[in-house]
Amino acid sequence: METLLTQYNPHWQNNRPYQLIFRARYCREIMELAGRREITVLKGIRRSGKSSLLKLAVNELLQQGTPPENILFMNLEDYRLGGEKTLETLDQIYQAYRQMHAPEGRIYLLFDEIQEIPGFEKWLRTHYEQNEQLKFMITGSSSSLFSRELATLLTGRQVSLEIFPFSFREYLDYRDSAILADLNRQDIDALYLSPMFKRIEPLLRRYLDQGGFPEMLKNENGAGNILALQQYISDIILRDIAQRYNIRKIEVLQKLT
């Protein structure tokens, strides 16, 4: 367990930030929630970048002076945690972490894909009530984070932040950050007559064609991106919508989409 935790938390050894696409708006909102007592819940459509935002939260916490050993990140989908995960799995992770570092003061526990642990709501509530120094940030599937049990057990103990794929503004900032600065000085009514429109139009067409999912931004292969988007849609239908609403006739749902 110690080896696994060390691999997921390189900041314990080198204090280096994760190299990820920075999302200013969400990082700002997450850090505002980081100062609150409630559990921070990042939820949103599949592949919208929730896991990356948890890692960006690590970067922001380190930048604000949080001791590296006071931040624990763990992806609960990892097969090395065992095939049948239980609440004891969370106990083992937490106990191993405390034995490795014995952190003092406020502790940040960042759990990715928490739906992998059946009954995780009970574990979170227990530790939330017992230790005011613990700050939880979690991500999970849409079906698990909209569950009745989560709403019941964590009522008044959670604050949710909806995560979306990249907006066009974020997309522009990633592709050509100079455009945003120029746009702020541009009269929108005159935009179509300006040379700037020629810079923006191809980016807008690409964005409308392939969307703002983070993986789409990283890859230039148009055909590959379309195939990936088709798989995203299939996963959302089969693993999120159908599972949450207990839909049996999947083929009918697929036709509707």
Q: 156, exposed or middle or buried, with CB in 10 Å at 0-12, 13-18, 19+?
A: exposed
Helix 196-210 with 168-175: angle, nearest 10 deg:
120
Residues 6+ apart with CB under 8 A from 27: 53, 56, 57, 60
pLDDT digits 0-9 by tens, 35-78: 999 999 999 888 899 999 999 999 999 999 999 999 999 999 99
Please tell me whether the overall predicted TM-score, pTM, comes out greater than 0.75 for this model. yes
* % of the chain residues with pLDDT over 90: 54
Weakest mean pLDDT among 17-26, 96-105, 109-118, 232-241: 232-241
Sign for the CA dihedral angle at 13, 19, 25, 26 comes to negative
* % of the chain residues with pLDDT over 70: 89
Query: What does the CA dihedral 183, 188, 194, 196 come to, rounded to 10 degrees?
Result: 30
| Res 30: pLDDT | 97
**Could you tell me the domains of the chain?**
2-163 (3.40.50.300), 168-256 (no CATH)
Structure token pair of residue 167: 């907006």
For residues 161 and 41, the answer to whether their CB atoms sit within 8 Å is yes
Q: 1, exposed or middle or buried, with CB in 10 Å at 0-12, 13-18, 19+?
A: middle
